[in-house]
Every structure is written in structure tokens, then in C-alpha cells.
Structure 1
Amino acid sequence: MKTTKMTKTNNKANRTAAKKSLLVAALAGTLALGAAAPAPALAGAGGPAGGARISTAFTLPGAKVYPEGIAADPRTRTVYVGSYADGTVYRARPGRAEAEVFLPSGTDGRHTANGLRVDALGRLWVTDSTAGVAVYDTATGTRLAHFEVAAGTAARFVNDLTITPDGTAYLTDSIRGVIYRVTPRQLAAGSGVLTEAYDLTPALRPRPAGAFRLNGITSDRAGRYLLTVDMTAGDLYRVDLRTGAVRRVALTGGDLKAADGLDLAPDGTLRVAHNVTNTLTRWQLGADGTRAGLTRTVTDPSLQIPTTLAHVPGRTLVVRSQFDKGGPMNPGTGTPTTFTVASVRGL
């Protein structure tokens, strides 16, 4: 019994160390890339945020949270935030100044909580970069289903996800350059292996060693296509859900280097969080999603390495990761302040 317990402890420690090493290497490459690029110009006027109003929506309890993902439930106006550091999922109820723990660290063996989404039936999807994705009942916290990368897949980083109108979930793998799929039929089965739906590797530009490729992902409300970003090259890709065709979106006015989370509104407005440059951008998509023009840029250090965002009525909620303050981007160096989610108006 003691030997078994020690083996499990060592395996968990090794897995956690590998997770941190992987992200450190990837973000280091992104940081170098971001530092080499010129700082984005501020859009508008009225202060360092280019006219946007940045405040704090709510705080997250804990000294080492290092949040990464966010999801808003439009039915209840509840917001969920995931910790990259230990997999805790927090719940922020409407009108509350501080979030509460919804799913504690280590729930169901989860090591990280990256991409989060609430589907049309009110179920919360949570990705674990080291394993796959789990689905939870938001009323009880009960795990309803889970799907994992196939055994023997050594290099993987399950990052973000989106859910299309038919209830299908699509997830990015930042190391492998593929998009996984979980269909409603698979979800009903309760568990299984993540299916590789699209391999974008042939379309992607060559990447520096250790750098991430695919990161944020979103989909249009008509269920016609997916959009996903290559954060290292700064490219946006469109995946046609009918034909499977992959094409690079024509961008005008800027690029998507260091882009992390994506949020696509029904009117074709695409909002993007660029992590290491402390930048948020707004783009207008063409009717078919094959082109996008930059319409607004907000850069401000108070964004504290924004990893993702969720647009809700009247404002955009932005995760302040503080990854550079003793976190996965700069382990052992710096001390984070209170972890918070920002409220940005005017983006």
C-alpha cells in the first residue's frame, strides 16, 4: 500500500512538472516573439487604455491561482474561471465581488483548467491540457462525461474549445496542431477517446522549437465554420464544417501574434486577447468568415497577461493571468497581486 501510494505521488509530481515545463517553453517562445514585435498602437483617445474603461469585475480567492480560462452562462449570468496552476474551477455569481470555488483542485484527477465553455443545456466543459476534457452539471458539480487523448500520445496540450449550435465540441491541441471533436452522441455515451477531426499541420507555417501553434478557437452561430489562431505565426484559420476545407483568413490592419482567447459575436465582431503584449483587439469578419479587418486595439499593463475573454452584454470579461509573476511564464520570480477578472467597456 505504501509503495502504491508513493508511486501515485511521484507520477502526479512528474506529470505536474512536465505540464509546467511544457508551458514555460512554449510561452518563452511566444514572449520572445512578442518582445521583438513593435508595440501595438493604441486606438482611440482618453488614457493608456485608448479610451476603453478597464476595471475589476471580481476577484479570485487564492495566492497561486494563475487563471487561464473563462466561460459565461447567459441563462444565469454566472461566470466560471479555471486555474492553470492546479485545475480549480471558480464560480462568480451575479453581483458578487469575489468568486467561490466550484470544483476544487484535483477534482476527478484534473491537473489544469484551460478552456471553459457552457453549452446550450447549461453544462460546463473544462479542458485539462494534460489529458482532455470533462463535462459537469453546473447545478451539482457532478461530472457527466470525460474524453481523453488516445493513450500513447506523448506530446499534447489540449487548450481551448468551442461548441457549435448542434452541440458538437471542438478542441485545439497547441502542440499537435489538430482539432479534436466530441459529438452529442459521444457525449451521451459518457466517456471515450478524443476524436481527431481536423489536422491543420499542412496549412500551418513552420514554428520555432517549443512554440505553441493552435490556441483559441471559436465558431459562428450558424454552425458553418470554426476559427482558430496560430499564436506564434499570428495567423487566423477558417475550417469549413461542411467540407473540412482549411484556409488562412485574410487579415487587414494587423496580425494575431501572441493571440490566446477568441470571442465571436453574432454580428461578426471578433474579440481577441493577446497575452504577452497585454493587448486586446477587435476585428470585423466578412460575411463568409474568410477575411477580417482590425477595428480597435487596446493595450494596457493593467491587463496583466490576458489569456482569454468572454463578451457579455455591455462589457468584456478578461482573465488577468499574471503568468509572469512567479507563474508558468516566469516560475520562481515575482510575486502576484490579488488575482482578478477585468471588466473592459469600449472594446
Structure 2
Amino acid sequence: MVSLAAALASLAVGKASAEDWAGADAETGQIADIAGLVRLAARFPDSGSVALRLLNAQLAAGEMTAALQKIVVLYSRGYRLSAASEERLLDMADADQAAWLGSLFGRERQSIEASTVFATIPANALLVESLAQDPQSGALYATSVVSHDLFVSVGGGEWRALGLRDAAALTGIVRDPRNGMIWVSSGDPGLGSEPLPGFRGLIGYNPAKGAIVRRIAAPEGSNPSDLAIAPDGTLYVSDGLAGVIYRAAPGAESLEVAVPVGTFRSPQGLAVVRGGKRLYVCDYRYGLAWVDVPSGKVNRLSGPGLQYLDGIDGLWLHGDALIAVQNGNRPMRIVRLVLSSDGKSIESARVLEQANPAWTEPLGGTLVGDQLLYIGNGQWNRFGEGGAPDPDNPPGPTQIRALPLGK
């Protein structure tokens, strides 16, 4: 049995070469054989989700040596299994393997607490998902999935619901800096067995008029979610259930497909470069990609191999870096991913915050200068069928936290 130090030293960590995005869909998630998962891991080398699937397959097949090597890779890239999983692995291992694993599992699980509470949204807002701020008025907007409404607080004052007519579940939100319009996505995230009533698409709210002034319809059956806006006002919206990315050019009355089904399994957060020629996309299961907007070609955003790049929910461009809320990682964290000069790969990664004891699940937010305002205690676990609050675990106030981003 090699030593832990030797196993760690044998891991080659270097910048991965850029390549085409391999594509993923529901069938990709059904791959369960070891050979198929090895090929899938080669296609998506920065996916911790795929690495875990391969580990479980190796353990089920009794391939303990290969499984141990995979565990070392997981831990070297900042992933941590649950305490229950670690105990199960120790029980499965022989004496030498258990001693070896024990030295790996015994490492301290580091918590990085770098944010502070910025504001608190009252419990009657229910399931708050994301934020946007108007820098001119200081108004802060928050979308609610269950209330089907948009909430606003001006200058730190009381929160009030705006009463958006015919809205469904509101998730994504973005402000158009050209005219101050607040755009929110209205859809059905599948909280209930029955289709959710209400408008499907994007709703444009004009703060100056205090009214809805635009609606952009989504295709039937779609679920618009995370939003991003290009400098010319083009809107991009992800559908994490269908695996589609839509767009709407300025003045459009309906969404059109920008990236079709079969490219991403579960696209979440989006970020557009300043010139509008490149769109960054996080696939929750498989990692980060960038879309060449003029051609529509999708490429994998390769990283240095130091951290996994899947499990990302929120994504923002800040200077020469991407800021990512990685709530699908264990431990959950917020990271700064510094881009190469051409923006086609990641040069380095730094954890800004990790496993904050005040978190339940960090969710969406917005950049305000050199800080990220984000939802710190997501409450998806407090709602059941059809969005009904759990009587044994009722929703509470929602914390907005402020995280300095540095340079």
C-alpha cells in the first residue's frame, strides 16, 4: 500500500487543454457501468458529480484500489464525503486501507467565514431565490418562487411585495443598465405534480412607472430560470429542467432557442462578457462551458485541475474572473475563478467563502461594486408539494449576505 503522501504526489495537476463541450442530456445521467463512466470522466474532467458516480461504481464492483485512488483525487480537489460515507468506507476497507483512509479523512474540514449580514427579508416572502439592485435608487429586489412575486426594499427600508399580475414562480432576475428595467423569469420549477398557473416567460418591470411594461413569452412547457443580459440588451435565460438556453433580442416578443437540448443537462447561472460575444454557462452536473455567441459553438471552460467546477448555481463576471456560488459541492463554497487573457480557460481558483455555519444553502445574488450580495440561507427544504410550507419546518426570514470579492 502506497503512502498517502506518495498518492497525493502522484496526482498530475496542470492546466487542461481547451476542447469542445461534449454535450449531455438525461441519458448521460443514466450511464452506470465503469467503462462508460471512465469515458464520461474523460469528457468532463472537472465534474465532481461524475467522479462520485465512478467511485460508487468501483465500490459496487469491489475495485477497492481504483476506488481509493479516486477518493484521493476527490479530496485533493477540495471535495469531502459525508461523515457517514467516510465511516462506511472505513468499514469496507482492510486494516492497511483503513489506516490510509483515516489519515485522509482526519484532515480538518475548513470553514471560511468571510461575509456579513447585509439585510433580512421577512418570512412572508417565503422562498426567496435571487437578487438585483438598482444602483441609482439603492432599491434591492428579490424574487420569490412560492409567493410568485417580486419584493423590494429601498434604502434599507421595509420590504414590500409589488404584486406582479399573473406571475408564476419567480426565480432569475437582472437589471438592464441601459434603462433601469427589472427583468424576472416566471416559470414552473416543478414543486408540484400539477402544472403551475401563471405566465411563462420574462416579465419586464419598470420601477419609474411602478408597473409591468413588457412580457416576453417562453415556449410552451419551458421553465425560464437564471438570467443574464448582454450590453446591447439581449437577454439570456437558462431552463435547468429542459436543458435549454433561450435568448431574446431587444424588442422581441418571445424567447428563441440559443443553445438546444442535448448540449447541457442542467444549465444554471449565466454570465456575458462585456462585448456580448461570449456567454459563460454552468451545467450543474458537468461543469463550466463558454458559448461563442456569433457561431453558437460550445466549448468546455477548462480549469487547472485544482477544484471541481460543477455544482455551480450562481455565476457572475467580476473583472477578469468569474464568481461562482457552488452549492452542489461538499463543502458548499463561493469561489473566484480567474480567467486567462483570452477568457477561454481558468488560470487559477480561490475559495472566498466555504461551509459558513450561518448557511443552509447559498443561492442567487447580484454584484454590487466589489462585493457579492447573495441569499445565504436558501429554504427549498422548507416547502413541500405545490410549494406548501412544511408545518414541521416552517420558513423563516431570509438572510442577504455581503461578501467582499477582492481583486
Contact 1:60/1:340 (<8 A) preserved? yes
Distance 1:197 1:276, change over 3 A: closer
- Identical counterparts, % of pairs: 22
Partner of residue 184, structure 1 = 250
TM-score (norm 2): 0.64
Partner of residue 335, structure 2 = 281
Q: 1:324 and 1:171 mapped to 2: Cα distance?
A: 21
Q: 2:296 and 2:121 mapped to 1: Cα distance?
A: 40
Partner of residue 141, structure 2 = 80
Q: After superposition, what is the alpha-carbon deviation per residue over 1:195-238, rounded to whole angstroms, capped at 9, x for unaligned?
A: 11222624x4xx5xxxxx101111111212110100122x1111
Distance 1:301 1:180, change over 3 A: same
Q: 1:306 and 1:71 mapped to 2: Cα distance?
A: 16
Distance 1:268 1:307, change over 3 A: same
Find the partner of 2:365 among 304, 309, 312.
309
Is 1:93 the counterpart of 2:154? The answer is yes
Q: 1:346 and 1:241 mapped to 2: Cα distance?
A: 28
Partner of residue 254, structure 2 = 193
Find the partner of 2:162 among 89, 97, 103.
103
Q: What amino acid is the match of 2:207?
A: T
List aligned pairs for 1:21-40, cutoff 5 A: 40=78
Is 1:245 the counterpart of 2:302? The answer is no
Distance 1:314 1:150, change over 3 A: closer
Shift of 1:282: 1.0
Contact 2:123/2:396 (<8 A) preserved? no
Shift of 1:41: 7.1
Q: What amino acid is the match of 2:185?
A: T
Is 1:167 the counterpart of 2:233? The answer is yes
Contact 2:333/2:352 (<8 A) preserved? yes
Q: After superposition, what is the alpha-carbon deviation per residue over 1:36-70, rounded to whole angstroms, capped at 9, x for unaligned?
A: 6769479xxxx9652x5322111112346221111
Is 1:236 the counterpart of 2:288? The answer is yes
Find the partner of 2:401 among 331, 342, 345.
342
Shift of 1:110: 0.9
Distance 1:328 1:258, change over 3 A: farther
Partner of residue 214, structure 1 = 267
Q: What amino acid is the match of 1:109?
A: D
Shift of 1:321: 4.5
Is 1:127 the counterpart of 2:157? The answer is no
Contact 2:127/2:380 (<8 A) preserved? no
Q: 1:93 and 1:197 mapped to 2: Cα distance?
A: 35
Shift of 1:276: 4.8
Q: What amino acid is the match of 2:237?
A: L
List aligned pairs for 1:292-307, cutoff 5 A: 292=346, 293-299=348-354, 300-307=356-363
Partner of residue 139, structure 1 = 208
The runs of 5 or more residues in structure 2 that have no matched partner are 1-47, 53-73, 81-108, 189-199
Distance 1:76 1:334, change over 3 A: same
Distance 1:284 1:194, change over 3 A: same
Shift of 1:264: 0.5
Q: 1:289 and 1:136 mapped to 2: Cα distance?
A: 33
Q: After superposition, what is the alpha-carbon deviation per residue over 1:275-327, rounded to whole angstroms, capped at 9, x for unaligned?
A: 35532111111222211131224211313211112221242211134325413
Q: What amino acid is the match of 1:284?
A: V
Q: 1:312 and 1:73 mapped to 2: Cα distance?
A: 9
Number of residue pairs matched?
290
Q: 2:308 and 2:136 mapped to 1: Cα distance?
A: 34
Distance 1:248 1:328, change over 3 A: farther
Structure holding more strand per residue: 1
The DSSP-based 3-state class of the residue aligned with 1:158 is: coil
Structure holding more helix per residue: 2
Contact 2:121/2:399 (<8 A) preserved? yes
Find the partner of 1:116 among 173, 192, 195.
173
Distance 1:294 1:89, change over 3 A: same
Q: What amino acid is the match of 2:373?
A: L
